[in-house]
Amino acid sequence: MDRTHRARLPPRADMVHYRGVAVADSVLVLHPDRLLPSDPGLRAIARRLYETVRELPVISPHGHVDPQLLLDDSPFPDPATLLVTPDHYVTRLLHADGVALEALGVGQGPLSEDAARAVWRLLCGRWTLFGGTPVRVWLEAELADIFGVTTRPSPRSADAIYDQVAERLGEDGYRPRALARRFRISVLATTDDPCSDLAAHAALAAEPGWPERVIPTFRPDRYLEPAEPGWREAMVRLGEVAGIDTGDYAGYVHALEERRRHFIRHGATSADHSHADVRTDPLEPADAARIYRAALAGDATPEEAAAFRRHMLLEMARMSCEDGLVMTLHPGIRRNHHRPTFARLGADTGHDIPIRIEFTDALRPLLERFGTHAGFHLIIFTVDETAWSRELAPMAGFYPAVYVGVPWWFLDAPDAIRRFHAAVTETAGFSRTSGFVDDTRAFCSIPARHDMSRRIDAGVLARLVAEHRLEEDEAAEIALDLVSGRPTVVFKL
């Protein structure tokens, strides 16, 4: 630690024993240079670069916050419901240590005060589990920056921290809208079912004095997967909402096109897709119609269902070229890996696991048709970082439509973000990347995640300046572009 900042750290408190190990029940402090390079020369440059972007508004072009949260503007019920139960980044690591998800409030509905306090004690009692993870970075920032907590979580401090956060949540300044303004959120994209009426978005957009943009994102995955349970019922619902007969393939495609237009009328700028692979092999129209009929009858084979979904992913690209929605891909995840947990608690409970995926040949049919189409934006994310330099950066370095999505989900971490820049920018530059996405439903983690990205980017750029590969004024321009320019341009905001 350099001498300039040493005095800012408070002294350690008395040691306590937890699970037989002596740990410090110390004050919680956020070091001003956290996540910046440790080398003093690099750190000085990174500080200056970080200061140029530190207070900029947050643009969140991909996330999962419920817009009803902001429309209702009700107080958050308790610290556990806000910071633990809905955040699978938190619950999955506690579960790996033997804590039942039900004990963390997952799938349990509203928590009583006793239950919420018990969840909070489980988090604080296992605080050491999060050491070295980005989750620790986010949680510390949430506790210290938002709620003014000055004590490190531990078994001994759990109740005092709970009481402090709970008291804050009773104040008007900690309601969702007040926090959104405090977080400087200027754009917040949600993720929405094509059959959603988007009433919450419409109500927010119509409210005077609410300048922040809360925009929907078209997420049609379940409508493209005939092999998934409930697909046939979804087709009926799609037809009802669109006012179009989905009894045949032509009507189905027309209904999807109409729902995309509905989303655009409500401010949407992108459509998001997350399937096991990104193959885009085309079908002849007659074959697509035949498989659709078979799927409605329950007779499509798994191979036919997969072929249909791959064809429809290509169709989604065609629609994006026509209606202008940005197409984002978030593939390569085996959803609901532990089927007993899925059966008991449902989706998004922490056991979606990455799988291997190939991009070059899989996307070739799409890119041959639309990769040079004027105005088409295709943002490709991956949780397989080996694909960054091998496939995605070379694609983005040739196709005008292609942008490489920043590290997402399991790679949304300091060292992975550094590896991303090393792998991608040498081939494709900074301009062919998407800008940061927080991809979260944990509302209070949004500013912490964006701040982490800004700090890491400042360090990456500082190294380029120190190596005389960039002038510092150029690095500052790139830092600004990564925070404001890239997401605005790439997501058409």
- Identify the sign of the CA torsion 363, 235, 255, 222: negative
**pLDDT (0 to 100) of residue 13:** 42
The SS3 call for residue 359 is coil
Token pair for 81: 């419901």
Closest of 212, 215, 224, 206 to residue 263, by C-alpha: 215
- Whole-angstrom Cα distance, residue 95 to residue 2? 38
Supply φ then ψ for residue 188, to 5 degrees: -130, 110
The pLDDT value given to residue 25: 57
Confidence bin at 175 (pLDDT 50/70/90): very high
What is the reported pLDDT for 211? 81
The structural domains of the chain, with segments of one domain joined by +, span: 3-32+75-174, 185-490
Instruction: Say yes or no: domain 185-490 is CATH 3.20.20.140.
Output: yes
* 335-366 per-position pLDDT tens digit: 999 999 999 999 889 999 999 999 999 999 99
302 has pLDDT over 60: yes
User: d(Cα 350, Cα 101) in Å, to the nearest integer?
Assistant: 9
**What per-residue confidence (pLDDT) applies to 17?**
46
pLDDT tens-digit map of 52-62: 999 999 999 99
Cβ atoms of 452 and 142 within 8 Å: the answer is no
Per CATH, 3-32+75-174 and 185-490 having the same topology is answered: no
Task: Give residue 185's pLDDT band: very low, low, confident or very high (50, 70, 90).
Answer: very high
pLDDT of residue 368: 98
Compute the average pLDDT of residues 69-80. 97
- What confidence score (pLDDT) does residue 153 get? 97
Residue 8 confidence (pLDDT): 40
CA distance 333 to 473: 40
Average pLDDT of span 221-236:
96
Q: How many CB atoms lie within 10 A of CB 93?
A: 17
pLDDT digits (tens, 9 = 90+) for 425-461: 999 999 999 999 999 999 999 999 999 999 999 999 9
CA separation for the pair 375, 380 (Å, rounded): 16
The alpha carbon of 190 is separated from its chain's Cα centroid by a whole number of angstroms, namely: 10
- According to CATH, the topology of domain 3-32+75-174 is uronate isomerase, domain 2, chain A (1.10.2020)
Rounded distance between C-alpha atoms, residue 196 and residue 193, angstroms: 5
d(CA 344, CA 306): 27
Helix (H) or strand (E) holding 270: strand 270-273
Indicate if the pLDDT at residue 98 is higher than 60.
yes
Determine the 3-state secondary structure of 118 from DSSP.
Answer: helix
CA angle, 337 then 440 then 386, to 5°: 60
Is it the case that residue 201 has pLDDT exceeding 90? yes
Gap between the Cα atoms of 259 and 85, Å rounded: 32
d(CA 188, CA 67): 9
Are 239 and 247 in contact by the 8 Å Cβ rule? The answer is: yes
Q: How many residues does the chain have?
A: 493
Count of H helices and E strands in the chain? 22, 11
Q: Is 163 left (phi over 0), alpha (psi -120 to 50) or beta?
A: alpha
C-alpha to C-alpha distance for 36 and 461, rounded to whole angstroms: 11
Q: What does the pLDDT read at residue 10?
A: 42
How does DSSP classify residue 278?
Answer: -
Mean pLDDT of the chain: 94
pTM: 0.93
User: What is the DSSP code (8-state) at residue 126?
Assistant: T
Q: Is the per-residue pLDDT at 218 higher than 80?
A: yes
- Structure-block tokens of residue 61: 């072009």
Residue with tokens 């790139």: 478
What is d(CA 213, CA 60) in angstroms, rounded to the nearest whole number?
10
Residue 363's nearest CA partner among 281, 247, 455, 423 is 281
The rounded distance, in Å, linking the Cα atoms of 288 and 309 is 10
Task: Label residues 365-401 b or e (16+ Cβ within 10 Å = b).
Answer: bbbebbbebeebbbbbbbbbbebbbebbbbbbeebeb
